[in-house]
Amino acid sequence: MKELRENVYWVGATDWKVRYFHGYELSTHRGSTYNSYLIKDEKTVLIDTVWEPLTDRFLENLSEVVDISKIDYVVMNHMEPDHSGALPTIMEYIPNATIIVSKKGVETIKGHYHKDWNLKVVSQGDKINIGKHDLTFIEAQMLHWPDSMFTYLSGENILFSNDAFGQHFASSEIFNDLVDETEVYQESLKYYANILTPFSKFVTKKIDQLKELNLPVEMIAPSHGIIWRKEPMQIVEKYYEWAQGKSEKSAVIIYNSMWGATHKMAEFIAKGLGEAGVEYKIFNTGTADRNDILAEVFKAKGVLLGSSTVNNGLLTSLMPLIEDLMGLKFINKVGAAFGSYGWSGESPKLLSDYLAKAKVEVIQEGLKAKYMPDDEELEQCIKFGKSFGEALLAKF
Ligand code: FEO
């Protein structure tokens, strides 16, 4: 248990050992937290719960500040199981309590748990008085599920934002001013890039609405990671910037190679990028973490994909990343493809087609090299990288 303010507590669970999320889809190198909050007023309110395997830890934290049977309201800002997993256990203590959900939350709570709990449905701007304080509900559809909402605690001026503004970051401290903010920002960006990017238009709209509401915000308390206490609106401004799809003048080369020929192409293309004055990073899909690569793609303007041709197709380790590129819908990117081959040589064309499907603007025809590139072909790789770099810079 930790105190945010008098009578407002963090009662969540810290998951130091989790290294994958959403099954095994999303890497979480720094662990995570499932943040749940308890407010004691004339009414006692619990905001969100934790992932089911950490229920015991959650119950211990909760019992330090409250008799669980005295909870009146459970606000479920979002029903994904990392926040609702402990709800069935909590409801065994308080079967007559009211669960507050958004309109879409009715479907998700019933869909996940099939229980006949007392639900109160709230809409944008609805308020509930809990004594000295009011709770105001702010719909946040598609940040990042249809049921997502924020809850604002007046008086203390705390915005409980659920997944938005969070990060997978386990820490012994809960406030941003007490941890290494560089690490927190790395994880916040990775979270945005890998989860929220497809919903950037909703992010922009929601932030505009939030600003129009003109609520004083003294803390932003998400459902993962640290609480933004020092300059809390900094993460809102950062989200706004990220949602616009602005890129750095840089490129990411992502490839895999069977015997080193495509690897060599990648390194010489990188030389050309350097000659054009474009900063770059190179990742091999066989060894680099996919979600880390995607965070780098999110930041960069250019994306170059490379693969040897095998069985008239691509090396398979590129495919999960390509699937994500198509699903995440990064905007304002330019790309090109390359790869070595022995006899058929389809890979650059296939990769260019995937880039186009991912709405990356393909600005150069793909580059091929047969077997191991010779000096002349390596020179072509440098030219390829340089012209790509120059075209990339011309987009700014
Ligand atoms: Fe952290 Fe959408 O769950």
Mean pLDDT of 83-104: 98
CA dihedral 51, 56, 61, 64 (to 10 degrees): 150
Domain with CATH 3.60.15.10 in the chain: 2-243
Contact 258, 288 (CB under 8 A): no
Which fold would CATH assign to domain 2-243?
Answer: Metallo-beta-lactamase; Chain A (3.60.15)
* Confidence at residue 227, expressed as pLDDT on a 0 to 100 scale: 98
Ligand 1 center from residue 26 Cα (angstroms): 12
Q: Is 41 noted as a catalytic residue in this protein?
A: no
CA distance 322 to 54: 34
**Looking at ligand 1, which atom is closest to the CA of residue 224?**
1
Contact 228, 203 (CB under 8 A): no
Q: What are phi and psi of 48, to 5 degrees?
A: 60, 165
Chain mean position to CA 357: 22
CA distance 230 to 177: 6
Mean pLDDT of 18-47: 97
Half-sphere exposure of 198 (CA within 13 A, CB side): 13
* 355-364 residue pLDDT tens: 999 999 999 9
* Confidence at residue 342, expressed as pLDDT on a 0 to 100 scale: 97
Mean pLDDT of 40-61: 98
225: phi > 0 → left, psi -120 to 50 → alpha, else beta; which? Answer: left
CA distance 232 to 176: 9
* 136-179 residue pLDDT tens: 999 999 999 999 999 999 999 999 999 999 999 999 999 999 99
CA distance 23 to 213: 37
Statement: the pTM of the whole predicted model exceeds 0.95: yes
Domain with CATH 3.40.50.360 in the chain: 253-393
Mean pLDDT of 5-22: 97
Ligand 1 center from residue 84 Cα (angstroms): 9
Sequence-ordered alpha helix ranges (H) in the chain: 55-65, 81-84, 87-93, 103-113, 181-191, 200-213, 233-243, 261-276, 290-299, 319-328, 347-357, 375-394
Residue 192 pLDDT level (bands cut at 50, 70, 90): very high
CA distance 260 to 315: 13
Please name every residue paired with 121 in a beta bridge, in sequence order, or none if there are none.
Answer: 101
* 247-275 residue pLDDT tens: 999 999 999 999 999 999 999 999 999 99
Contact 13, 49 (CB under 8 A): no
Q: Is 22 noted as a catalytic residue in this protein?
A: yes
CA distance 26 to 82: 14
* 326-363 residue pLDDT tens: 999 999 999 999 999 999 999 999 999 999 999 999 99
Contact 36, 8 (CB under 8 A): no
Ligand 1 center from residue 195 Cα (angstroms): 9
DSSP code for 29: T
* 205-217 residue pLDDT tens: 999 999 999 999 9
Residue 81 pLDDT level (bands cut at 50, 70, 90): very high
Q: Is 83 noted as a catalytic residue in this protein?
A: no
Closest residue by CA, ligand 1 atom 1? 163
Q: Is 29 noted as a catalytic residue in this protein?
A: no
Q: Using the Cα atoms of residue 269, residue 274, residue 278 and residue 281 in order, give the sign of their dihedral.
A: positive
Q: Is 223 in the pocket of ligand 1 (CB under 6 A)?
A: yes
Class of 253-393 per CATH? alpha beta
Nearest Cα neighbor of 266 from 278, 248, 254 is: 254
Q: Is 224 in the pocket of ligand 1 (CB under 6 A)?
A: yes
* Confidence at residue 350, expressed as pLDDT on a 0 to 100 scale: 98
